[in-house]
Chain A
Amino acid sequence: MKLLLVEDEPELLASLVSYLQAQHYICEVAITYAQAQEKMLLYNYECIVLDLTLPGGDGLELLRELQRHQKAAGVIITSARAAVDDRITGLELGADDYLPKPFYLPELSARISALVRRRHYQGTNLLQAGKLSVDVPARRATVEGHPVTLTRTEFDLLLLLLANQGRVITKGAIAEHLSGDAAEQFDTFESVYAHVKNLKRKLTEAGASNYIRMVYGLGYRFDTSSET
């Protein structure tokens, strides 16, 4: 699965590449407007992660160009510009998602995988992880055929975990994923603990125990191999 990462900040780019490659994506990078333009038009990508402020031009222009050439790539805008109209213009120009900086890598990974799923599997879209299988469009999870009843939040949490299997997801990333931008008001992570605990209990009751592990106080890791 090939991604194009357009980002002019080398350290940030390095982080993206490092994390996403470990997620088995093939990452190509562009650090200027011209590079991005060239690669975008020359090759086909599953998904383009696009920064808006680039040396040599505005990322929104790239979107227009992409539209003109009818390239069928999913685009996730990552921008430090929080202006509302940027977001609206971006989405109007055919971007699929908008992720304001600073973001969490697991969140970006989840957005990419959601985008890829949406673009590839219309209708049936089954995620498999160990004994667990998840029907994303129907928002249904089953363990060896037995349905697991999850709340909306628990299901969202499960999707985040599944998109970042084997990786540690920090509590902050989970909190932001579950409640959006508006809910940074709490410095406590009680709701994260509660939701993870509930999800873990439901999965264990259904027979998929030990998939979710706490990593010190930092966060959680979803791993089917650690099953005992």
Chain B
Amino acid sequence: MKLLARTTVFFLIYASIVAVGGTFVYYGFISKIYYAYVDRTLSRRKLRVEKALRLHLRTPADLAFWHQLDHNVEFKALSAPGPPVSFSQRMMYNELTGQIVPYRQLAAPVEFQGRPYRLELRTTMLDSQELLARIVLAGALLFGALLVGLLVLQHFLARRMWAPFYHTLGELQRYKLDQHQPVRLASTRIPEFKELNSALSRVLNRNQRIYHRQREFTENAAHELQTPLAILRTKLDLLVQAPDLTEEQAGHIEALLEVTQRLTHLSRSLLLLAHLDQQLFFPTETVDLAAAVRTQLGQMREQLSVNNLTLTIAVLETLPLAANRSLLEILVSNLLSNAIRHNVPGGELIVTLTAEEFTVQNTGRAQALPADQLFVRFRPGPERPPGSVGLGLAIARQICETYGFLLNYHFQAPARHIMHVRLQ
């Protein structure tokens, strides 16, 4: 749930609790006030009745007559003085409506001509209850309107005030470590966001600096390696010319040659990766991918026959692409050589190229490779053969990224490994 939605929900829960509780409290409060008012009116009427008892009424028949005129005034003769003044609620038949309706009643002991009576004064609560209900309804409506208004207001305010946050979030989502332009976060007057943005900018720019420095380091390191490697290679070239070389010496030299070869490959691969990372300019030309695939396959004929592999090709006649020739060749060669290297003797190699995709399938170990680690630089793992520097697939993926291709690995039981390049 989004932050805003979450706060709104909590706000809503709180508001409805307050609204429900508030309505009850409000109702109780209003009705209390109303009863107090009714009771005061009844008390005032009682004073008037007491005055009338003293001044105008003569006989008990007058009392009965009064009750007949006004049902809400009733006298009851008592043998002993009655209980003190009390208010109560009672249900009674109402002639006007023909229904039993609630009444508020005041019962008070009075004295008439020296004898005790109980006076009951009543007033109907029918209209007043309706009134009460309306008052409460009006209150509830008001409350509701306030609530809705507040919600809407909160929503819009939050959206407006959180705008810098969402902008920053968007920037972060688009952020790539290797992008060239620095991150630009929107300026805001809200101190918290200001601090957030400045902290983020600091971190991001620092990261970028470190990343660039590291890339430069890789490139420089690879460069610096070339000259010592050149010396090593040329010295070995001279060493093998020695006229009285023994077989044992030759063996040592061969090992050195091999290591030098590996180092050279390693440093060149690193350099290539550094250049790809930097998105250095690689001149683009029209390259026939189909021809490149066929050429590379031709160069690997020996490896294929040594491992006794069956090659199946379904490659388009021609597929011109705008790309750098050497990069495409490296991509194709890395995928193909990988498929040969990790094959089993007597296995299969299937190469297909359509306008949409380039696929290399090979038989191999009866176990899927960890797809998430496959394209990692210097990938460790048991499937890495001795002598491999573990950069081939990383380079392949980087080349694919450069040209917007998508490189994927699939495993098909029982033992088929598939490399998939989606072109465009």
Residues of A participating in the B interface, judged by any CB pair closer than 8 Å: 9, 11-12, 15-16, 18-19, 22, 78, 80-85, 88, 100-106, 167-168, 170-173, 179, 181-188, 190-191, 193-194, 215-219
Contacts and interface: CB of A to CB of B under 8 A. Distances in A.
Given A15-B235, A102-B232, A172 B261 contact: yes
B376 interface: no
A102 B235 contact: no
A155 B233 CA distance: 25
A101 B226 contact: yes
A84 B282 contact: yes
Interface string B294-306: 0000011111001
B285 to A, nearest CB: 12
The 7 A-B residue pairs whose C-beta atoms are closest, nearest first, are A15-B234, A80-B226, A216-B250, A102-B230, A102-B229, A191-B302, A105-B237
A170 B223 contact: no
Given A83-B280, A167-B241, A181-B326, A102 B226 contact: yes
Contacts of B326: 181-182
A85 B333 contact: no
B8 interface: no
A170 B262 contact: no
Contact of A216 (B229, B251, B272): B251
Contacts of B247: 216
A176 to B, nearest CB: 9
B337 interface: yes
Contacts of B236: 170
Interface in B245-274: 245, 247, 250-251, 253-254, 257-258, 260-262, 264-265, 268, 271-272
B226 A187 contact: no
A102 B233 contact: yes
Contacts of A171: 257
B240 to A, nearest CB: 4
Given A15-B234, A185-B392, 4 more contacts: A11-B235, A81-B223, A102-B231, A105-B237
A105 B302 contact: no
Contacts of B272: 82
Interface string B324-342: 0010011001100100010
A187 B235 CA distance: 21
Contacts of B191: none
B114 interface: no
A191 to B, nearest CB: 4
A172 to B, nearest CB: 5
A85 B247 CA distance: 44
Contact of A217 (B233, B241, B254): B254
A184 B250 contact: no
A186 to B, nearest CB: 6
B250 A215 contact: yes
B251 A15 contact: no
A12 B234 contact: yes
Contacts of A84: 275, 280-283
A172 B245 CA distance: 19
Contacts of B253: 218
B99 interface: no
B240 A168 contact: yes
B373 interface: no
B238 interface: yes
A219 B281 CA distance: 37
Contacts of B226: 80, 82, 100-102
B227 interface: yes
Contact of B303 (A15, A88, A190): A190
Residue from B227, B236, B253, B337 having most chain A Cβ neighbours under 10 A: B227
Contacts of B229: 101-102
A104 B261 contact: no
A11 B237 contact: no
Interface in B185-228: 223-224, 226-227
